[in-house]
Amino acid sequence: MRINGGIYYNENGLTTSIRAMHVQSELIGISNENVGGFDKIGYQRKEPVVSSFVEFLGVHAISTTKDDKVGRIAVSSNPLDIALANKGYFQTESENGIKLTRDGRFKIGKDGSLLTLEDAHVLSNAGTPIQFPFIPQDLKQIKIDKSGKITLFNPETNKLTNIGQLGVVDTNGILVMDPNVKQGYNEYSNVALHEEFIKMMPYMKNFDANRQMFMLQNANLGKAISQLSSAS
């Protein structure tokens, strides 16, 4: 009975150690992804959310949320580089559907559409693609104010044309009233490397501790099975 109990105990211990290593590996992976996103334009740090049932559910008990703090904003030489100094997201649309992004590096397509670098349409506050009536020879003819209102100077008529307003929304798709749009700027990621490495250290220590426990329990299980074979 003692031998059978030892086998049962070590089998349970192995399962627990494996599950714990999977969890710590997932947490390390999230931190590594954040480190990889450091100083990338528009990247938002991922924050792991660990359920209280993680002991039973393993990696299925881990989800992530986005840290919505505004990242570092730096000046750009491109009038179509747009940053958001407040919380919110640009709405874009492609054949894969609507996507929210804080990467405001835009361009004008051949048909006058305002596009992302991946050729997705940038949407207005009305949810429609933003379209220029003509492609300006000088991008400085385009002006975007803090609210996201876009105007285009026509040198032939010497007048401003209202193009529309950028659709800046929250994660629920509700329009943000004060997006604080900054034309000619890029927003870099909100990842702080030193903080990310500090968060990663206990994950790595816990992974190593569970790995050592796994090896010990595996060795004990082998001994128990050997003893059971000898007894029979």
**Does position 130 have pLDDT exceeding 60, yes or no?**
yes
**Number of neighbours of residue 135 by Cβ within 10 angstroms:** 12
CB 19 within 8 A of CB 58: yes
**Does position 208 have pLDDT exceeding 50, yes or no?**
yes
Between CA 147 and CA 85 the distance in angstroms is: 11
Least Cα distance to 93 among 109, 74, 114 occurs for: 114
Between CA 201 and CA 166 the distance in angstroms is: 41
Mean per-residue pLDDT, 187-204: 92
How large a percentage of the chain has pLDDT more than 70?
Answer: 81
**Number of neighbours of residue 213 by Cβ within 10 angstroms:** 16
**Would you tell me the crossing angle of helices 193-231 and 2-36 to the nearest 10 degrees?**
160
Question: pTM above the 0.85 mark?
Answer: no
Q: Which helix (H) or strand (E) holds 175?
A: none
**Does position 229 have pLDDT exceeding 70, yes or no?**
no
Q: How confident is the model at residue 7 (pLDDT cuts 50, 70, 90)?
A: very low
Question: What are the sequence ranges of the domains in the chain?
Answer: 2-68+191-231, 73-187
Q: Which helix (H) or strand (E) holds 217?
A: helix 193-231
Lowest mean pLDDT among 50-54, 113-117, 221-225: 221-225
Lowest mean pLDDT among 29-33, 35-39, 46-50: 46-50
Which range of 1-10, 103-112, 215-224 scores highest in mean pLDDT? It is 103-112
Between CA 63 and CA 209 the distance in angstroms is: 23
β-strands 97-101, 89-94: how paired? antiparallel
Question: What length does the chain have?
Answer: 232
Phi first, then psi: what are they for 228, rounded to 5°?
-65, -40
Strand ranges in 123-204 using DSSP code E only, listed in sequence order: 142-144, 149-154, 159-165, 168-169, 181-183, 185-187
CB 113 within 8 A of CB 128: no
Between CA 45 and CA 192 the distance in angstroms is: 9
Mean per-residue pLDDT, 194-204: 89
Q: How confident is the model at residue 126 (pLDDT cuts 50, 70, 90)?
A: very high
How large a percentage of the chain has pLDDT more than 90?
Answer: 64
